Amino acid sequence: MAKLVALAALAASVSAQSEIINGTEVPIGKFTYVTGIRRSETGPSGCGASLIAPKYLLTAAHCAGAWASYASIASHYLSGNKDGERIKIVKQTVHPKFNEATMENDFAIFELETESKVAPVPLNWIDDDATAPGIVAWVRGFGTTKSGGTQSPVLLEADVKIWSNADCAKALAGEGDILPSMMCAGGADKDTCQGDSGGPLTIIRNGVEYLAGVTSWGVGCGDPGFPGVYARVSTARDFITPYLPVTPTTTMPAC
């Protein structure tokens, strides 16, 4: 099992996914909720995250640590201060039931020092036809474009097909258990990779984009037959909702 964050720059922190495999460059100014987690204000992003409320990010628990000091929000670039916002991270809250050995409940909330002016991404609370096996989802990040490669200097995206947990468990047998708090996608030459950990997997429902998964772990990057594994947002509602304003754009009624 390999977390998708392990970059030399993070040294003693985590080992994880870093870039999008066979992705395309995101148009500047699109998907501005995508966030890079940085050690320094203008340094390279080592993990991804998603803005879910003006002062809160949702990322992977295995991205948490003293290294995670700044959030780069709405930037098209891996590093620097050319665009977007750079806001200090003041608090990190890991899911109380996160298991580092199994990667169960791989969620964390990062609190920002000041509010972002960027629109948050809505969250997916229900698993229905929009998250069914075979449906296309989207992943975005600044990770490496191949296992062990260098990070992308710009934000990339790729379309990935969702797997059933049962089929994913068969494909990854011996690598790690696929638990209810997880979902799988990719495995057909498109994937997340080192440095993408904590970043978004989104789905479209009725023309609206929702955050359905958080990039968590995988075997290799983009290897056919080996999907990437994501923390399933719908299973962490009790953990996440205390950080959300009650508005139609950030909540959905339970099914």
- CB-based contacts of 24: which residues, under 8 Å, 6+ apart? 156, 157, 158
How many Cβ atoms sit within 10 Å of the Cβ of residue 86? Answer: 16
Q: Could you tell me the pLDDT band of residue 221, with boundaries at 50, 70 and 90?
A: confident
Active site residues: 62, 106, 197
Record the pTM.
Answer: 0.89
How crowded is the C-beta side of 178, counted as CA atoms within 13 Å? 22
Q: What is the pLDDT of residues 61-101, one digit of tens each?
A: 999 999 999 999 999 999 999 999 999 999 999 999 999 99
Does the pLDDT of residue 49 top 70, yes or no? yes
Look at residue 3 in the predicted model and tell me its pLDDT. 61
- Residues 133 and 235: their CA atoms lie apart, in Å, by 17
Write the DSSP symbol of residue 122: P
Q: What is the mean pLDDT of the chain?
A: 87
- CB-based contacts of 159: which residues, under 8 Å, 6+ apart? 136, 137, 138, 190
How many Cβ atoms sit within 10 Å of the Cβ of residue 188? Answer: 16
- Residues 88 and 113: their CA atoms lie apart, in Å, by 5
Q: Alpha carbon 167 to chain centroid distance?
A: 22
Does the pLDDT of residue 121 top 80, yes or no? yes
Look at residue 246 in the predicted model and tell me its pLDDT. 77
Segment 153-166 mean pLDDT: 95
Of 22 and 76, which is predicted with more confidence?
76
How crowded is the C-beta side of 10, counted as CA atoms within 13 Å? 28
Which residue has tokens 């998964």? 213
- List, in order of start, the domains of the chain with CATH numbers: 129-237 (2.40.10.10)
Segment 35-39 mean pLDDT: 98
Does the pLDDT of residue 7 top 50, yes or no? no
Q: Could you tell me the pLDDT band of residue 169, with boundaries at 50, 70 and 90?
A: very high
